[in-house]
Structure 1
Amino acid sequence: MSVETEGLTPGAAALFASRGLRQIFAEEVMRADLSAGPLPPAVWPAGVSVLEWSSATAGRFHAVYAAAFRDRPGFPGWPAEQWIAETAEEDGFRPRWSLLAVRSAADGLGAGTDLGFVTAAEGWIDQVGVAPGARLAGVGTALIRESLTRMAADGHHDVWLNVNVDNPTAAALYRRLGFAHRGRRARFRPGPA
């Protein structure tokens, strides 16, 4: 048995604890206003280009997803077919906003190396991941900015995302990109704290 809440408050956390439930997962819910003016352009690291989600690129998105999240607690290890189906069948999934960053220049990393991805749906950034060897190079920032720019160009005024509370580096990136805290989601199970 598990209990989930979409609006975790300190009072709710205390209530769950008083009932013998312990928090096993939590995400910060964040929102960005896309109507506040022109968005800063995506600045891609040298030699990086972007591809949109398609049947031809979906497997490459999964490979970066697995590389980016394999070591995170709770990683489900889904095979490509399952992850691709879950992602593409998301309500409002937008292939044009879902992007793969690719090393296009041979510079020691090898041309064609997939570096990071973002998947997006109507009003949401669903997932962002950067391969370990490409982190801290601006790939994630550029992916998110490009996806947000495409959303705004298509007439969207706001966008939401969830980020694990145990990933403060990602939360800080999202804040720098204009996302603000709007709440917390959490899951609880019976057991000692």
Structure 2
Amino acid sequence: MRIKLASADGFEAGWPDGAEVVEWSAETAGRFHAVYAASFRDRPGFPDPAAEEWIEENTEDDDFRPQWSLMVALPEHGDVGFVTAAEGWIVQVGVVPAARGTGLGGALIRESLRRMAAAGATEAWLTVNVNNPTAAGLYRKLGFDVMGQRARYR
């Protein structure tokens, strides 16, 4: 899926009261992994990589952008969602089950897109599994257009 980025102004995140937004760093990477694992553990086939492996997979990518990769914490729940981003891509988005449906996934994506646009990006891409229609619906609502489907992509 792809979205055109006209300007950074079109992406107001809309964070809930008390939300703390944290950028990826060497100090926060372990927290990102913990939220990643909590967000996807309930998905069929979740590979559950070790923190070091997952962190390395992200940071070794030359296109990885820590300043566009964000985590959100809420006072009553702690760390509840994350987005990782690379040049031109939303790589992963996850929200822990207890915080799903609260708008945090959309807020994370909008803030990451705002930062991309502010850095001069003109478009962003993402992929979504065919067995995740809820996420696909969110991405369409945010303005992403379906650009195709890869055969056997699950």
TM-score interval (norm. to shorter): over 0.9
Matched residue type, 1:152: A
Structure with more of its chain in strand, by fraction? 1
Where structure 2 has 5 or more consecutive residues not aligned to the other structure, the ranges are: none
Q: Give the corresponding residue for 1:50.
A: 21
Q: 2:83 aligns with which of 118, 123, 130?
A: 118
Partner Cα separation in structure 1 for residue 150 and residue 88 of structure 2:
18
Structure with more of its chain in helix, by fraction? 2
Deviation at 1:186, TM superposition (A): 3.5
1:158-169 correspondence to structure 2 within 5 Å: 158-169=123-134
Q: TM-score, normalised by structure 2?
A: 0.94
* Superposed structure 1 runs of 4+ greater than 6 Å apart: none
Q: Give the corresponding residue for 1:3.
A: none
Q: CA RMSD in A?
A: 1.4
Q: 1:148 aligns with which of 108, 113, 132?
A: 113
How many aligned residue pairs are there?
153
Q: Give the corresponding residue for 1:138.
A: 103
Q: Which has the larger radius of gyration?
A: 1
Deviation at 1:37, TM superposition (A): 7.5
Partner Cα separation in structure 2 for residue 70 and residue 91 of structure 1:
27
User: What's the % identity of the aligned pairs?
Assistant: 62
RCO higher in structure (CA 8 A, sep ≥6): 1
Where structure 1 has 5 or more consecutive residues not aligned to the other structure, the ranges are: 1-29, 189-193
Q: 1:93 aligns with which of 54, 64, 68?
A: 64
Partner Cα separation in structure 2 for residue 123 and residue 145 of structure 1:
14
